[in-house]
Amino acid sequence: MNNKRLSLAEEAHLLDAQLATRRLFLKQCSMGLGALAFSPLINACTSESNGSSNTLFDPTKPLLPKTPHLPGKAKSVIYLHMAGAPSQLELFDYKPELKKLDGQLCPESLLKGKKFAFIRGVPKMLGTIGEFKQRGQSGAWVSHYMPHLAGVADELSFLKAVHTDQFNHAPAQLLMQTGSARLGRPSLGSWVTYGLGSENANLPGFVVLTSGGQNPDAGKSVWGSGFLPSVYQGVHCRSHGEPVLYLDNPANVDGNMRKASIDAINQANKETYKEFNDPETLSRISQYEMAFRMQISAPDVMNISDEPAYIHEMYGTEPGKESFANNVLLARKLVEKGVRFVQLFDWGWDVHGNSTDTSLEIGLVNKCKQIDKAITALILDLKQRGLLEETLIVWGSEFGRTPMQENRNGLEMPFKGRDHHADAFTIWMCGGGAKAGTTYGETDEIGFYPVDGKVSVYDVQATILHLLGFNHETFTYPFQGRPFRLTDVEGTVIKPILS
């Protein structure tokens, strides 16, 4: 090499010239041929033993209803995710001992080696503010924050000692919904629609409803399809106004014309598919067709204002406004019509105590008011329609709250609040094969660590899949040369809460 500096054009020219040399060709061949020879070997390892999982995806009919491994009890899921993490110590996990310790400094032994999101130094213990009672025949503890839900406590099965390993919202939400704290994995709803398809060809199989305000911290990835074909990602409906935009034909366009134009687009797409063979093109075609069918069926299903007045009274819905209750009622309508997975996200549960809205005394009370009656109505409404047996309702969040009062930056907070807590929190399930009136798991006297029935996020996911009829260990999708699972290498079905 000479030391003369090459201009950009000269360098490009040189590279171009190199490409034509025999030396470079042979050099690249030596590695390239090896890789070429190796690739079928890799495929031989995966496709042979797991060939069946790949056939689940039929690009022309991606949402065709499919059969699970085992007879499942649940046919659909309504997942109520309280983004931000409600305080289990105020709602369900009764700790009288913690009340006695209120205001005392937290013992060093609890803090040793622990990391918190905001707590610094030595915080004070914070007694529970909830007034707890044992409810129903099952004697489940539900506090005064949830007076309506307390009335249906016998329908619920509580997991009191769930733990996660993430204490920040975004990664914890991802872990809960996709089985990995990092981006890129398919969400629970995507897995389920991939595995079971949808029983209603005119509606999406996986619908996401958010109740206004903020989207979850982890963004849309919590309902993303990851490496699964994108047709399985959640369809996010608008929380305000029309749930799905552009369902009405534009002025001067009638149904036939619309059909003709979609047919033309699909014809063009089919040509593209013939040329490039990208399965995503087929997904696109099926989405156009679905959109056309949705024009007919969706306005009806998505419109909650047609429901009778006593149903609105029951749910506490106000059609036209952004609210969690509206979404809950919509979820029931969707499930009734055969939608496989309805994912609700509510926001504003991050009760740190740094403002009235995030205080345990005021903010949490208001949040509970927004969901308590609606969720109770959902349970009873599904029940009276004979659908609770086959609809699994999951209520939970990404983690729980500490038994200590938050002392952000070592300062005293204006309101009572708690920091993020990953070691123990409460999730409940209802219907769909979950055993009614059970409580599984127990935390220590102050609700810091699980002492019995400790379950992980993966165990919860494995249980949900089990109720739908999947064996979570063999339900895989081949990606990057190996089969992937929602629960990765973890997860045990929580048998004590199965009916």
Binding site for other proteins (CB under 8 A): 65-73, 131, 144-145, 147-148, 151, 199-202, 310, 313-314, 316, 337-338, 365, 368, 373, 376-377, 380-381, 383-386, 389, 469, 495
Cβ proximity to other proteins, 111 vs 201, nearer residue: 201
State in angstroms the smallest separation of the CB of 339 from other proteins: 12
Using CA atoms, how far apart are residues 346 and 369, in angstroms rounded to an integer? 13
State in angstroms the smallest separation of the CB of 369 from other proteins: 8
State in angstroms the smallest separation of the CB of 434 from other proteins: 14
State in angstroms the smallest separation of the CB of 310 from other proteins: 7
State in angstroms the smallest separation of the CB of 102 from other proteins: 12
Residues 6+ apart with CB under 8 A from 206: 189, 190, 192, 193, 223, 232, 233, 234, 235, 339, 340, 341, 343
Cβ proximity to other proteins, 125 vs 222, nearer residue: 125
Using CA atoms, how far apart are residues 78 and 95, in angstroms rounded to an integer? 29
Cβ proximity to other proteins, 110 vs 498, nearer residue: 498
Written as six digits, the tokens of 429 are 């399930």
Q: How far is CA 89 from CA 80, 140, 436, in A?
A: 19, 14, 22
State in angstroms the smallest separation of the CB of 141 from other proteins: 15
Give how far the C-alpha of residue 130 lies from the chain's centroid of Cα atoms, to the nearest Å: 28
Q: What is the C-alpha R_g of the chain?
A: 26
Cβ proximity to other proteins, 76 vs 177, nearer residue: 76
Cβ proximity to other proteins, 337 vs 408, nearer residue: 337
Query: By the 8 A CB rule, do 467 and 73 touch?
Result: yes
State in angstroms the smallest separation of the CB of 150 from other proteins: 9
Cβ proximity to other proteins, 201 vs 247, nearer residue: 201
Token pair 């309508």 is found at 333
Cβ proximity to other proteins, 235 vs 314, nearer residue: 314
State in angstroms the smallest separation of the CB of 163 from other proteins: 15
CA dihedral of residues 160, 163, 166, 172 (deg, nearest 10): -50
State in angstroms the smallest separation of the CB of 397 from other proteins: 21
Cβ proximity to other proteins, 69 vs 124, nearer residue: 69
Nearest 5°: the CA angle 375, 72, 225 is 70
Q: How far is CA 66 from CA 55, 56, 91, 198, 340, in A?
A: 11, 8, 38, 8, 11
Q: How far is CA 157 from CA 140, 215, 434, 445, 498, in A?
A: 9, 28, 7, 21, 9
Using CA atoms, how far apart are residues 81 and 266, in angstroms rounded to an integer? 37
Give how far the C-alpha of residue 461 lies from the chain's centroid of Cα atoms, to the nearest Å: 10
264 φ/ψ angles, rounded to the nearest 5 degrees: -65, -45
386 φ/ψ angles, rounded to the nearest 5 degrees: 75, 20
Cβ proximity to other proteins, 146 vs 176, nearer residue: 146
Burial group, residue 397, by CB count within 10 angstroms (0-12, 13-18, 19+): buried
